[in-house]
Structure 1
Amino acid sequence: MNLIEQSEDFVSNLLKDKLSNLYSYHNFNHTLTVVNAVKELCKKEEVNDDEKEMLLIAAWFHDTGYITGYENHEKESVKIATAFLKEKEQSDEFIAKVSNLIMATVKEYIPKTHLEKIIKDADFAHLMGTEYATTCELLRIELKNTWNLNFSNEEWAKENLNFLLNKHRFYTDYAQRKWQPLKEKNLLLVQKKIKKQAKKAADAVEAENKKNNKIEKPDRGVDTLFRVTLGNHTRLSGIADSKANILLSVNAIIISIALSSIIPKLDSPKNAHLVIPTFIMLMSSVITIIFAILSTRPKVTTGVFTREDIEAKKINLLFFGNFYKMPLEEYDWAMNEMMKDRDYLYSTMIKDLYYLGLVLQRKYKLLRIAYNFFMIGIIITVISFVIAFKSI
C-alpha cells in the first residue's frame, strides 16, 4: 500500500475504535467526504502528485483529534499525523507541510496558499451537497450531545443562514464557479424554511391569541334571559308605537272632518251653539296628538365616545345613539375591547335592557296621558254636543 492508502487504513481503524458515538457529524463519513472533495479539487485545480499526496493525507487526518475531544482538535490531529508519518519515515519538511494543511482547517483561519485553499474548501464541501439538510441535522445532534446546545428549529435555521451568508466563502476558482451556485441553492432552501417556520409561528401565535381572547360562552339560562327580555322590550316598544299611530290617525281624521264639515258652518248664527263643542273636540284631539307624538319622538344623543370612556366601561355600545358619529375603526376597536371583557359585555347588555325599560316607561306614560285626554275629550265633546242641541 502507498502512503495514502496506509493513511486511510490507519484513520479508518482509529476512528472506528476510539471516536465517541456522540460525534454524529465529525466522524469517518465526514472525513471521507472531505477526501473525495480534495480529489475533485486537485483534479480541477491542476495540482501535482506530490501536492495531491500531502492534501489527501492531511484530509484523512484533519479531524482525527476528535478522539480526544473538540477543544484544539486540529492540534491533536497534527500530533497524530506527525506520529504516523514519522513512523513511516517521512521527512520533517513533508510532515510540516501536512501539519500546516491540517491547521488550515481551523474554522476561523483564512487560507493563504493554494493548497490551504483547496483543503479549506474541501472541509466545507457539504455546504453544496444534496444532503446538506441531513448533514446539518447531524451537526445539530452532535452539538447537543457534546456541548449540550439545544437549538430550536427556527434558531438552527437562522444559525445556518448566518453561516452561509456571513461566515463562509469558497476560495478556489473551481469551488467558486461550480460549488458556489450549489451552495446558493441550499441557501435558498434555508431561507424558505425560515419563512415557513416564521409563518407557522405567526399562525400559532394568532391561534393562541384567538384562544386567549375567545369569550367564554355564557350559560344557556343567561343567554335565554337576555334574548327573551330583549325580545319583550322590543315587542312592547312596537306595541307602544302602534298605539301612538292609532291615536295620531284617529285624531287626524277627527280634525280633518271638523275642519272640512263643521267649522265652515259655524259662521252662521243658527250654528252658534256648536262652537264650544267643536272647540272642545279640536282641543282634545290636538292635545292627544301632541302626547302621541311625544311618546314616539326619539331622543337625540351626542353619538360620540372616547377611548377613556371605553377603558372606564362607561359607554353602552349596543345603543346606536352612543356611536353613530364615530369612525368605523374606533367603533370596531371599542367593540373588540368590550368583547374581550366578559364583565364589561354583560354590564353593557344589562344597561341596554335597563335603558330600554326607561324608554318604554316614558312611552307608556305619555301614551296613557294621550289616551286619557282622548277619552275625556270624547266624553266632554259628546256631552257638550248633547247640551248644545238641547239648548236650541
Structure 2
Amino acid sequence: METALTPSPAKAEIIKNAKAHVLALLEEKLPGKLVYHSPKHTMQVVKEARALGEAAGLEAPDLEALVLAAWFHDAGYIDTYDGHEFRSAELAGEWLTSQGYPAERTALVQSLIKATHRDSERRTQLERLMVDADMSGMGREDFFANGELLRTEWEAALGRTFSNPEWAESQLDFLTTARFYSPEGKKRYSEQFRENIKAQRKELKKKEKKLKKKEEEAEGTFAEPKRGIETMFRTMYSNHMKLSDMADKKASMMISLNAVLMSLIITYFGAKLGSKTAALSNVGLIRNPIIAVPMGILLATALGSVITAILCAQPDVTSFKWLKRSPQIATNRRVNLLFFGNFSKLSLDDFQDGMHQLMKSGESVYTNMITDVYYLGDVLTRKYRLLRLSYTIFMVGLILTALSFGIALLYKM
C-alpha cells in the first residue's frame, strides 16, 4: 500500500521531466549575456539542494519539492532580471499544473522559489535549505571564478561596471553581510566560507595597493618622484652645460682670431707711423693713404667682435642683495640655494638653516631645481645673443673691408 510520504512512480518521474524541461527552456530562451546564471549554475544549485536535503533527513516529498524548486529557481531569467524569482515561481506553477502535480505541493515549490528573493523572510526549514543551496557558491572553492562571471554578466546585462578594487570591495561586503541559514548549510560551507572571506580581504588589500601605486606613478609625488622626473632634470642640466660649453668655445675662438688680427694691424700701423724713414719713403700709407680705409674698417671690426666675444665668455653670476633679509629662504621661489651665486651672500648659519628647510620639503627641492634651470637658461640666452652679435660684426666687417679694399684698388688704378 502506498504511503503519503512516498512519491508514486509517476511522481518520481517529475524531477527527471522537470530537468529536461528547464534545461531545454534555458537553452532556447536564456539571453547569452547571462554567463553566471546559466544552466551550469542551475545544475549546481540542484546538486547542493539535494545534498542539503539528504543531510537534513528530509522526507521524500519534501526533498522532491526542494529539488523541483532548485530546478525552476532561475527559470524567470528568460523574461526578466530583477524580480526573476516571482517569474520563476509562475513558470514552475504553470508547468507543474500541466503535469497534474498536486496543487498544495505546487504552492510549496513556488514558495521555496520566492524565498530566494533578497527581501524574503526564510521561516521554514525548506526555505532555509533552498536559500543555502542557492547561495552555496560563497562557501565553495569556485567562488572567485564564479564572481568574475557575475561581474561580466552585470556589465553586459545591467551596464554596471566596476574597477578591480571596487569589485573586490563589493565582493567583500557581500561575504561579510551574507550568512547561511540552516544548520546543514553552516556545517557544509562554513569552513570554506571563512577562507573565502580571508582571501577576499587579502585580494582587496592587494588591489588597493596596486591602485595607490598606479595613482602615484600617474600623478607623481614630491616625496617619491618618478624616475622620469629625475631623468628630465638630469637631461636638462646636461644640455645646458653642453650649450654653455659650446658658447664659451665659440667665444674663445672669436677672441683668439680677432686678437691676432688686431695685433697684426696695430703692429703694421705702429711700424709705419714710428719710422720717419718709412714715413718719407715712396711706399706705405703716405704713398697710398687710401689703403688706410679698409685697414681701419678691419680694425674696428676686430675690436667690436672681440669685445662682444669677451662679454659672452665673461662669467655671469646671478645674486640678490636682499637675500640676507629673506626670512624663508628655502621657500622663496626666486632663490636657488643650490647655486653659489645665491647662497654666497648668506652666513654659514643661514645657509645651513635654509638647506635643512629645503631637505624637509620635496616640493622646495624641485622648486630650487626649476629655479636653477631657469637662471641657467637666462644666462645662456645672454651668451648666445652676444655670441651672435660677435659673429655678425665680424661677418659684416669682413664684407665692408673687402668692398673698401676693392674700391681702393679701383681708385688707384
Q: Taking structure 1 as reference, are residues 329 and 135 closer, same or farther at Cα in structure 2, changes over 3 Å only? A: farther
TM-score, scaled relative to structure 2: 0.61
Q: Taking structure 1 as reference, are residues 25 and 226 closer, same or farther at Cα in structure 2, changes over 3 Å only? A: same
Equivalent residue number for residue 6 of structure 1: 17
Equivalent residue number for residue 306 of structure 1: 328
Q: Taking structure 1 as reference, are residues 55 and 334 closer, same or farther at Cα in structure 2, changes over 3 Å only? A: closer
Contact 1:34 1:122 in 2 (8 A): yes
Amino acid at match of 1:223: M
Equivalent residue number for residue 159 of structure 2: 148
Q: Taking structure 1 as reference, are residues 44 and 316 closer, same or farther at Cα in structure 2, changes over 3 Å only? A: same
What is the CA distance between 1:203 and its match in structure 2? 2.1
2:316 is the counterpart of 1:316: no
Structure 1: tracts of 5 or more residues without a match = 230-300, 353-392
Q: Taking structure 1 as reference, are residues 108 and 329 closer, same or farther at Cα in structure 2, changes over 3 Å only? A: farther
2:103 is the counterpart of 1:85: no
Q: What is the alpha-carbon distance in structure 1 between the residues aligned to residue 155 and residue 184 of structure 2? A: 34
Q: Taking structure 1 as reference, are residues 130 and 96 closer, same or farther at Cα in structure 2, changes over 3 Å only? A: same
- Aligned residues: percent identity? 26
Equivalent residue number for residue 162 of structure 1: 173
Q: What is the alpha-carbon distance in structure 1 between the residues aligned to residue 82 and residue 89 of structure 2? A: 13
Equivalent residue number for residue 339 of structure 1: 366
Map 1:202-213 to 2 at 5 A: 202-208=212-218, 209=220, 210-211=225-226, 213=229
What is the CA distance between 1:311 and its match in structure 2? 4.2
Cα distance per residue 1:299-323 (max 9 Å; x no partner): xx9798527x624323534456655
Q: Secondary structure at the match of 2:174?
A: helix
Q: Secondary structure at the match of 1:176?
A: helix
Moved more, 19-28 or 203-212: 203-212
Amino acid at match of 1:129: R
What is the CA distance between 1:72 and its match in structure 2? 2.2
What is the CA distance between 1:108 and its match in structure 2? 2.8
Moved more, 323-332 or 16-25: 323-332
Contact 1:303 1:324 in 2 (8 A): no
Q: Secondary structure at the match of 1:314?
A: coil
Contact 2:333 2:368 in 1 (8 A): no
TM-score, scaled relative to structure 1: 0.64
Amino acid at match of 2:373: Y
Contact 2:76 2:84 in 1 (8 A): yes
Amino acid at match of 1:29: K
Q: Taking structure 1 as reference, are residues 119 and 341 closer, same or farther at Cα in structure 2, changes over 3 Å only? A: farther
Contact 1:62 1:102 in 2 (8 A): yes
Equivalent residue number for residue 317 of structure 2: none
Equivalent residue number for residue 191 of structure 1: 201
Moved more, 96-105 or 38-47: 38-47
Q: What is the alpha-carbon distance in structure 2 between the residues aligned to residue 121 and residue 340 of structure 1? A: 62
Amino acid at match of 2:210: K
Q: Taking structure 1 as reference, are residues 181 and 318 closer, same or farther at Cα in structure 2, changes over 3 Å only? A: farther
Q: Taking structure 1 as reference, are residues 333 and 91 closer, same or farther at Cα in structure 2, changes over 3 Å only? A: same
Equivalent residue number for residue 28 of structure 2: 17
Amino acid at match of 1:63: D
Map 1:1-392 to 2 at 5 A: 2-166=13-177, 168-208=178-218, 209=220, 210-211=225-226, 213-214=229-230, 215-216=232-233, 217-218=235-236, 220-224=238-242, 305-306=327-328, 310-319=331-340, 322=346, 323-326=350-353, 330-334=357-361, 336-340=363-367, 343-347=370-374
Amino acid at match of 1:114: Q
Q: What is the alpha-carbon distance in structure 1 between the residues aligned to residue 173 and residue 160 of structure 2? A: 17
What is the CA distance between 1:223 and its match in structure 2? 1.9
Cα distance per residue 1:26-53 (max 9 Å; x no partner): 1111111111111111122221111111
Q: What is the alpha-carbon distance in structure 2 between the residues aligned to residue 101 and residue 221 of structure 1? A: 77
Contact 1:128 1:183 in 2 (8 A): yes
Cα distance per residue 1:185-209 (max 9 Å; x no partner): 1112211111111222222233331
Structure 2: tracts of 5 or more residues without a match = 1-11, 248-322, 380-413
Q: Taking structure 1 as reference, are residues 335 and 317 closer, same or farther at Cα in structure 2, changes over 3 Å only? A: farther
What is the CA distance between 1:152 and its match in structure 2? 1.4
Q: Taking structure 1 as reference, are residues 315 and 220 closer, same or farther at Cα in structure 2, changes over 3 Å only? A: closer
Contact 2:112 2:126 in 1 (8 A): yes
Q: What is the alpha-carbon distance in structure 2 between the residues aligned to residue 110 and residue 311 of structure 1? A: 68
Amino acid at match of 2:236: P
Amino acid at match of 2:111: N
Q: What is the alpha-carbon distance in structure 1 between the residues aligned to residue 367 and residue 203 of structure 2? A: 35
The aligned length equals 281
Q: Taking structure 1 as reference, are residues 329 and 118 closer, same or farther at Cα in structure 2, changes over 3 Å only? A: farther
Q: Secondary structure at the match of 2:22?
A: helix
Contact 2:358 2:365 in 1 (8 A): no
Contact 2:85 2:114 in 1 (8 A): yes
